[in-house]
Amino acid sequence: MSTYFPKAGEIVRKWYVVDASGQTLGRLASQVARILMGKENPRYTTFLDTGDHVVVINAEKVKTTGMKSEQKVYQHYTGYPGGLRTEEFNKRMARKPELIVEQAVLRMLPKSKLGRQMITKLNVYRGEKHPHQAQKPEVRALEVRA
């Protein structure tokens, strides 16, 4: 008996809406990453993208624990000499909260072609509204741990 691997045409992707209001950033990101990878799916295969689409709403209402909101700093390097750019968590949250959630999820996905393919199925929005009603997404309640 050989191991079953789903073919590309057999993979059916669902759409889920996740409300980020009141959720802790890291716990939200890890659960969304599991859905994007397909680990919730019984047909999960490590080297195939069997995950579902996720729409995260209310990104500006995500919370952090401890002193992260005052101390966390995002850094990236532009590639030019002296090109280290830093931005504090509070400033980025005011400017673009979608980017905070998106980067937290991206950093929990595989660092490969497969991970880059998985992140394309993530859509993050600042408020309640999103343009994906045509896909008829299901509301997905995530585990809330204290």
| Whole-prediction pTM | 0.92
- Average pLDDT estimate for 103-122: 97
- Average pLDDT estimate for 89-105: 97
DSSP 97: H
Q: Which superfamily does CATH assign the domain made up of 14-64+97-139 to? A: Ribosomal protein L13 (3.90.1180.10)
- Domain range annotation of the chain: 14-64+97-139
What tens digit of pLDDT does each residue of 22-55 get?
Answer: 999 999 999 999 999 999 998 899 999 999 999 9
| Banded pLDDT at 145 (limits 50, 70, 90) | low
Helix (H) or strand (E) holding 86: strand 84-88
* Residue 26, strand partner residues: none
- Angstrom distance (rounded) from CA 127 to CA 1: 50
Tell me which residue has tokens 């700093």.
Answer: 73
Neighbouring C-beta atoms of residue 72, cutoff 10 Å? 17
pLDDT value at residue 4? 86
